[in-house]
C-alpha cells in the first residue's frame, strides 16, 4: 500500500468519525426520553399561532372563543377544524431520541434559528410563548423538529412542514365571490372604455346588446368570464376598512351578474379596484371584507374590450377547382398574353 493510499484511507476514516459525531443519536441527552416537548400544555390552551417560512412569508391566526380568525385582516374567519387539529398536535408532540444538537446539525436539518423550513410561534392563554422549528424529512416520512431555545433535534411523524403553511389561504375558505352561473340571465361588464351588457337568448347563448349589422357575439368569451366568478378565489383577505390605495372609488372594472331562481332575481356585483404588483383589490357587497385577487384570475375580465366579445367573420369559401373569387368591386385580372 502506497503512502498516498494510507493518507486517503486516514482522511476517509476521519470523515466517517466526524459524521458519527454530528449525527449519532445522543442517548444520554436531556431529550432522550419519549417525553412531551411542551410539558403541561393542552391544545385548547393555545390562543394564537404564527406560521413562518425563512423567505419571510407568514400567517398569524388567533382563537376567539370556539372560533379562529385572521386578526390582521379584520378577524376574517379561519378554519377552526384545521387549527384545532394543529394546536392539539403541537401540545401532544413528543421528542423521542435526539438525533443531534450542534448548530451545524441544526442548520443542515433546517431547524436552526436562521435556517428552517417552517417555524411556528404560538402562545398559551397564560401568556407562555413557544417556538417549534420544522425541518427536513428523514426516512419513513419522519420530520426533524427542534424547540426554540433548546439544542436537541428530534424526529417525529406527528407533524411536518407539509402540515403547516405560511399562505393564509390554507387556513381560510379562500372562495370570496360565487355566482350560480346556471341561473345567470344578464351580465354587465363596465370598464374605463366600455359598458357592455349581455343577455341570454332562448337557446341559452349570450348576446351582446347594441350589436351593429353583421356583428355576432363571441359566446365563449362571455362564458369564460362567468366561469371565473363561479368560484372566485382570493389570495388574501384585507379587512373591513376601505383604503384609498384600493382604488375602488374609480374602479378598473365592475361586473354585475343578474340571476333568477324561480321568481327571485338577485344582482351579484364585483368591483375591481386598483392593481398592484401581483393583482387587484376587490370588493363585493355580498361580503363585509375587502380582499386581494391574483392578476391572472382577473386579467380577461379587466382587459377585454368590446371587440373581444365579437365573433370573427367566417371567411368566404374557396371555389372548388380554382382560386378564390376576387372581392366584390375589385378589377378583373388581366390575362397574361
| Cα–Cα distance measured from residue 6 to residue 11, given in angstroms and rounded to the nearest whole number | 9
Distances (CA, A) of 60 to 87, 229, 251: 14, 28, 30
| Cα–Cα distance measured from residue 53 to residue 133, given in angstroms and rounded to the nearest whole number | 10
Check the CA dihedral 13-17-23-25 and report its sign: positive
Please write the tens of the pLDDT for every residue from 278-296: 999 999 999 999 999 999 9
The CA radius of gyration of the chain, in Å to the nearest whole number, is: 31
pLDDT for the residue numbered 292: 98
| Cα–Cα distance measured from residue 94 to residue 155, given in angstroms and rounded to the nearest whole number | 9
Quote the percentage of the chain above a pLDDT of 90: 76
Model confidence band, residue 12 (pLDDT cutoffs 50, 70, 90) = low
Mapped onto helix, strand or coil, the DSSP state of residue 220 is helix
**Among the listed residues 124, 127, 125, 119, the one whose alpha carbon sits nearest the alpha carbon of residue 149:** 119
CB 99 within 8 A of CB 29: no
* H or E stretch covering 85: helix 80-92
Whether the predicted pLDDT of 237 surpasses 80: yes
**Among the listed residues 133, 124, 152, 302, the one whose alpha carbon sits nearest the alpha carbon of residue 225:** 302
Please write the tens of the pLDDT for every residue from 38-82: 999 999 999 999 999 998 899 999 999 999 999 999 999 999 999
CB 227 within 8 A of CB 181: yes
Please write the tens of the pLDDT for every residue from 241-258: 999 999 999 999 999 999
Please write the tens of the pLDDT for every residue from 325-336: 555 555 555 555
Q: Report how far Cα 183 is from the mean position of its chain's Cα atoms.
A: 28
- Per the structure block, which three cell numbers stand in for 112? 436552526
Please write the tens of the pLDDT for every residue from 134-168: 999 987 789 999 999 999 999 999 998 888 999 99
Those residues whose C-beta lies under 8 Å from the C-beta of residue 198, and which sit 6 or more positions away, are 186, 187, 188, 189, 206, 207, 208, 209, 217, 222, 309
Whether the predicted pLDDT of 18 surpasses 90: no
- Per the structure block, which three cell numbers stand in for 238? 384585507
In the chain, where are the structural domains located?
Answer: 24-171, 175-309
pLDDT for the residue numbered 20: 47
CB 146 within 8 A of CB 154: yes
Amino acid at each position: 500500500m502506497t503512502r498516498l493510499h494510507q493518507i486517503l484511507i486516514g482522511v476517509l476514516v476521519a470523515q466517517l468519525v466526524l459524521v458519527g459525531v454530528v449525527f449519532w443519536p445522543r442517548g444520554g441527552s436531556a431529550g432522550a426520553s419519549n417525553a412531551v416537548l411542551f410539558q403541561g400544555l393542552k391544545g385548547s390552551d393555545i390562543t394564537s399561532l404564527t406560521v413562518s417560512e425563512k423567505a419571510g412569508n407568514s400567517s398569524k391566526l388567533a382563537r376567539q372563543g370556539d372560533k379562529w380568525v385572521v386578526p390582521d385582516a379584520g378577524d376574517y374567519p379561519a378554519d377552526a377544524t384545521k387549527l384545532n387539529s394543529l394546536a392539539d398536535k403541537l401540545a401532544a408532540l413528543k421528542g423521542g431520541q435526539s438525533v443531534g444538537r450542534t448548530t451545524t446539525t441544526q442548520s443542515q436539518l433546517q431547524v436552526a434559528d436562521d435556517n428552517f423550513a417552517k417555524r411556528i410561534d404560538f402562545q398559551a392563554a397564560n401568556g407562555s410563548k413557544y417556538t417549534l422549528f420544522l425541518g427536513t424529512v428523514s426516512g419513513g416520512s419522519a420530520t426533524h423538529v427542534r424547540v426554540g431555545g433548546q439544542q436537541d433535534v428530534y424526529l417525529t411523524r406527528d407533524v411536518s412542514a407539509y402540515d403547516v403553511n405560511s399562505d393564509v389561504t390554507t387556513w381560510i375558505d379562500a372562495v370570496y365571490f360565487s355566482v350560480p352561473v346556471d341561473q345567470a340571465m344578464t351580465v354587465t361588464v363596465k370598464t374605463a372604455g366600455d359598458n357592455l351588457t349581455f343577455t341570454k337568448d332562448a337557446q341559452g347563448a349570450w348576446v351582446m346588446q347594441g350589436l351593429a349589422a353583421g356583428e355576432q357575439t363571441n359566446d365563449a368569451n362571455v362564458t369564460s368570464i362567468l366561469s371565473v366568478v363561479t368560484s372566485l378565489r382570493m389570495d388574501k383577505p384585507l379587512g373591513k376598512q376601505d383604503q384609498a390605495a384600493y382604488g375602488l372609488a374609480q374602479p378598473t372594472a365592475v361586473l354585475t351578474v343578474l340571476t333568477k331562481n324561480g321568481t327571485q332575481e338577485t344582482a351579484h356585483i364585483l368591483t375591481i379596484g386598483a392593481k398592484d404588483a401581483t393583482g387587484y383589490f376587490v370588493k363585493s357587497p355580498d361580503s363585509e371584507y375587502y380582499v386581494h385577487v391574483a392578476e391572472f384570475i382577473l386579467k380577461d375580465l379587466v382587459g377585454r374590450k368590446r371587440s373581444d366579445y365579437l365573433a370573427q367573420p367566417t371567411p368566404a369559401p374557396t371555389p372548388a377547382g380554382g382560386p378564390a373569387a376576387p372581392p366584390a368591386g375589385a378589377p378583373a385580372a388581366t390575362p397574361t398574353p
